[in-house]
């Protein structure tokens, strides 16, 4: 008995074959269309990625170039003037310090510390801002008091104040749930605020060391000149740009450090032993480089906050924090140079 249907029953017809009929003849335009599509189609094996047609030159889009931030000349000159005034005030106040007569210099240092607390907290806006500001102010007063009243002039009491203040600031941020979420992200900013405030107390300790006042004169002058020259240079020639989002140039940073070192070497030639132009140049170089790098780091931090979408607040405080950070880092650098070089 033969089957009622042929073996080909149930099979799908070929693409070019109509069901139940002979294969259709190729159409006239099939060969040209296949040639335009890149030749005959090849069967793809299992696991082999599909080929993509090559992109045409017109489809490639160039990377979007971010326009650099505009350098505002009046603002740069204003910051340079503030750095010059701050450095002059600290240097002149250091000359009034003497055995049994350190209150005027301490008041000046405390004023700078409170100004730093205002500028840094309003610019960074850490969680529990009022708590961080209060802890930093208390740490400043405690550090200055210990720097004046300890029997031996040393930095260990200031380090202890720094650790206690940092722990107190973090614990204050953990009280509320809203602030607790941001503690990890803002830990570095909180530590820099407390550390920067306590660092100014190093100047009071330095004033109690032999040749400490002269060291402050050399290092603070170098830092002030470096910051002033760097900002003034950016007002006229912010080139080459270090980053498109930061309105600073390498010429100002390098030139400020060089001019600050030169001024410190000139001061060393007028000071008495153990100061020499070489020693003063080394001390001034370290202080100037520390100051301009701290100022530059503040600019990068501010640009990062703006790129993250944070709204800027109190533009005066934001632009004061650069010179304040520069002198805050120059203070412990001056203390280290006094111990290592002299």
pLDDT digits (tens, 9 = 90+) for 107-122: 999 999 999 999 999 9
DSSP assignment string, 287-304: HHHHHHHHHHHHHHHHHH
d(CA 268, CA 56): 67
User: Is the pLDDT confidence value at 199 over 80?
Assistant: yes
* pLDDT score recorded for residue 62: 47
* pLDDT score recorded for residue 1: 46
Where helices occur in 37-182 by DSSP H, the ranges are 73-95, 103-124, 129-149, 156-173, 177-180
Structure tokens at 83: 């750095």
| Residue 230 contacts residue 295 (beta carbons within 8 Å) | yes
What's this model's pTM, rounded to 2 decimal places? 0.80
Q: Quickly state the pLDDT bin for 51 (edges 50, 70, 90).
A: low
User: Is the pLDDT confidence value at 264 over 70?
Assistant: yes
Terminal-to-terminal C-alpha distance of the chain: 118
Map residue 66 onto helix, strand or coil. Answer: coil
Alpha carbon of residue 104 to chain centroid: 33
Alpha carbon of residue 134 to chain centroid: 24
Residue-range domain boundaries for the chain: 85-340
| Residue 224 contacts residue 87 (beta carbons within 8 Å) | yes
User: Is the pLDDT confidence value at 43 over 60?
Assistant: no
d(CA 153, CA 130): 32
pLDDT digits (tens, 9 = 90+) for 312-330: 778 888 899 999 999 999 9
Q: Quickly state the pLDDT bin for 59 (edges 50, 70, 90).
A: very low
d(CA 17, CA 228): 86
Whole-number percent of the chain with pLDDT over 70? 80
Mean pLDDT value of segment 176-180 = 72
Q: Quickly state the pLDDT bin for 180 (edges 50, 70, 90).
A: confident
* pLDDT score recorded for residue 60: 46
Phi-psi region of 314 (alpha: psi -120 to 50; beta: other; left: phi over 0): left
Residue located via tokens 């802890």: 135
DSSP assignment string, 215-239: HHHHHHHHHHHHHHHHHHHHHH---
* pLDDT score recorded for residue 58: 47
* pLDDT score recorded for residue 22: 52
User: Is the pLDDT confidence value at 270 over 60?
Assistant: yes
| Sign, CA torsion 122/126/130/133 | negative
Mean residue pLDDT of the chain comes to 85
* pLDDT score recorded for residue 128: 87
d(CA 228, CA 84): 6
d(CA 224, CA 196): 17
d(CA 54, CA 327): 58
Q: Quickly state the pLDDT bin for 136 (edges 50, 70, 90).
A: very high
How many alpha carbons fall within 13 Å on the CB side of residue 240?
Answer: 1
User: Is the pLDDT confidence value at 36 over 90?
Assistant: no
Pairing of strands 241-243, 246-249: antiparallel
Number of residues that make up the chain = 342
> Could you tell me which residues come within 8 angstroms of residue 230 by beta carbon, excluding any fewer than 6 positions away?
80, 248, 252, 253, 255, 256, 257, 292, 295
* pLDDT score recorded for residue 293: 97
More confident residue, 179 or 174: 174
- For residue 87, which of 194, 226, 192, 199 has the smallest C-alpha distance? 226
Residue located via tokens 């080139």: 239
């Amino acid at each position: 008995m033969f089957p009622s249907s042929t073996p080909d029953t149930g099979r799908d017809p070929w693409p070019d074959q109509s069901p139940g009929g002979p294969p259709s003849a190729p159409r006239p335009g099939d060969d040209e269309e296949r040639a335009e599509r890149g030749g005959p189609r090849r069967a793809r094996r299992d696991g082999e990625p599909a080929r993509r047609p090559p992109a045409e030159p017109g489809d490639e889009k160039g990377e979007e170039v971010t326009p650099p931030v505009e350098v505002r000349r009046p603002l740069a000159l204003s910051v340079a003037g503030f750095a010059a005034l701050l450095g002059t005030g600290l240097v002149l106040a250091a000359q009034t310090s003497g055995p049994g007569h350190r209150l005027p210099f301490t008041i000046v240092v405390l004023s700078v510390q409170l100004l730093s607390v205002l500028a840094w907290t309003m610019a960074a806006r850490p969680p529990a801002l009022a708590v961080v500001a209060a802890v930093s102010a208390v740490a400043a007063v405690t550090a200055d008091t210990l720097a004046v009243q300890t029997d031996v002039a040393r930095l260990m009491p200031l380090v202890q104040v720094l650790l206690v203040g940092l722990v107190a600031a973090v614990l204050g941020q953990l009280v509320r749930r809203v602030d607790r979420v941001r503690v990890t992200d803002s830990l570095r900013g909180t530590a820099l605020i407390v550390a920067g405030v306590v660092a100014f107390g190093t100047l009071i300790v330095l004033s109690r060391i032999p040749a400490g006042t002269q060291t402050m004169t050399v290092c603070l002058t170098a830092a002030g000149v470096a910051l002033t020259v760097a900002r003034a240079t950016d007002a006229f020639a912010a080139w080459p740009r270090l980053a498109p989002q930061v309105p600073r140039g390498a010429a100002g940073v390098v030139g400020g450090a060089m001019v600050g070192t030169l001024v410190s070497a000139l001061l060393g030639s007028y000071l008495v032993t153990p100061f020499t132009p070489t020693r003063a140049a080394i001390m001034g170089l370290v202080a100037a480089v520390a100051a301009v790098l701290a100022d530059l780091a503040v600019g990068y931090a501010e640009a990062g906050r703006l790129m993250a979408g944070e709204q800027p607040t109190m533009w005066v405080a934001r632009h004061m924090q650069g010179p304040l950070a520069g002198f805050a880092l120059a203070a412990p650098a001056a203390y280290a140079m006094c111990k290592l070089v002299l």
